[in-house]
Amino acid sequence: MHQESIYSIFDAKANAFHTPFFSTNHSTAIRSFEQAALDEGHEFNRHSEDYSLWFIGQFDAESGELSSNVPVSIANARDFVHAEEERAARSIAATRAVMDNTVYLK
């Protein structure tokens, strides 16, 4: 039995789910969602507080059967964006600290 998981992006401002997509598992779906959320040109990045990734069902590629379940939220775009902003801020602070120490050593 070959099953694909089914996911959808929920837009809180529209109060609606986007067209579903298939992915191998939660990890691969989250990776794709994270890439979009970290892309500064993408809507998920510009309005990260509005978008979340939801697991909504399974598709059996051998039988053609779809099974749905109560949607389960598995990731939020804002979490990826904020984590990236925090990493960037730490990197800038570390660079400044190195530069300040270099100035004192001269």
pLDDT tens digits along 3-54: 999 999 999 999 999 999 999 999 999 999 999 999 999 999 999 999 999 9
Q: Residue 68's pLDDT is what?
A: 93
Give the single-character DSSP code of 40: T
The 10 Å CB-count burial string (b at 16+, else e) for 7-34 is: bbbbbeeeeeeeeebebeeeeebbeebb
Q: How confident is the model at residue 98, as a pLDDT?
A: 55
Q: How many residues does the chain have?
A: 106
Q: What is the pLDDT of residues 44-96, one digit of tens each?
A: 999 999 999 999 999 999 999 999 989 999 999 999 988 766 665 555 555 55
pTM of the entire predicted model:
0.78
Q: What is the pLDDT of residue 97?
A: 57
What residues have CB less than 8 Å from 94, skipping those under 6 apart? none
Q: What is the pLDDT of residue 2?
A: 87
pLDDT in the model for residue 76: 96
Statement: residue 102 has pLDDT above 90: no
